[in-house]
Amino acid sequence: MEPDLVAPLRDRLLSHPVYTAVVDETTLREFMRSHVFAVWDFQSLLAALRSRLACTSVPWLPTADREARRLVNEIALDEESGVHPEGGFASHFELYLDAMRRCGADTRPVESFVAAVAEGRPVRELLGRELPPGVADFVGTTFGILDSGRLHEAVAAFSLGREDVIPGMFRRLVERLAESSPERWGLFRHYLDLHIEHDESRHGPMARALVERVCAGDSTLAGEAAAAAVRSLDARIRFWDSIAAALRTNAAAA
């Protein structure tokens, strides 16, 4: 499944020009202003998987696949309640917001968006707002996969479209951060290093195992899962395209 359809998109993603467009603190703050929506979107994707693979309702009932239940719950423990380097626990979304505040990035767009979601506003409606570059298309693609209700497609988007490529993407940003101000960007670097460590050694393999379990050797399901992974990766590439274009425009106007 992966070599024929997913690998070429992975290569495009990992060599994307957005990484070289992030050249200083100003461009990194702008990158974060958009990218934080992908962090929130990721948590929503994970929550959708937990609702299908582990019981999250009352009364509790055991779900059918014990192994899948363990895998998704273990990933969720790290992503929703990981250790905060400054004490206590936090979701990776909250950690990212803390890193944004530390370096002076603008958190208002995402905080306003999440507050509206908490009030019960539909995500689709909120995507019609003025949002940072590329956000509406990227988040809309993820929620399109979720709205279909097809578990194998959501698992593939989570695994092959997210967990499996995040370490390679983030490593490029960490390399650039090493030349920047470590005091101002230390918390963000911690966030990136954390994802590289977790996704390469644990979450990536776990997520791929989920794909195999959900597809269960069914070639039709595997093909549909691969197509969903392709949609997710295509959306990420378009997202990076939008951010890179905005950074170039801002640089030209400066």
Give the residue among 170, 165, 206 at the shortest CA–CA distance from 191: 170
pLDDT confidence of residue 138: 96
State the pairing for strand pair 82-83/89-90: antiparallel
The C-alpha atoms of residue 137 and residue 239 are separated, in whole angstroms, by 7
Q: What one-character DSSP code corresponds to residue 84?
A: P
Instruction: Domain ranges for the chain, please list them.
Output: 2-247
pLDDT confidence of residue 199: 67
pLDDT confidence of residue 1: 46
pLDDT confidence of residue 149: 92
Global pTM reads: 0.91
- Name, in order, each residue with C-beta under 8 angstroms of 148's C-beta and a sequence gap of 6 or more: none
pLDDT confidence of residue 125: 96
The length of the chain in residues reads 254
Q: What one-character DSSP code corresponds to residue 173?
A: H
The C-alpha atoms of residue 254 and residue 248 are separated, in whole angstroms, by 10
In the chain, which residues have pLDDT < 50?
1, 3
Locate tokens 């295509």: which residue? Answer: 234
Q: Contact at 8 Å (CB) between 102 and 184?
A: yes
What type of residue is 24? D
Q: Contact at 8 Å (CB) between 126 and 113?
A: yes
2-247 placed in CATH 3.90.1510.10 = no
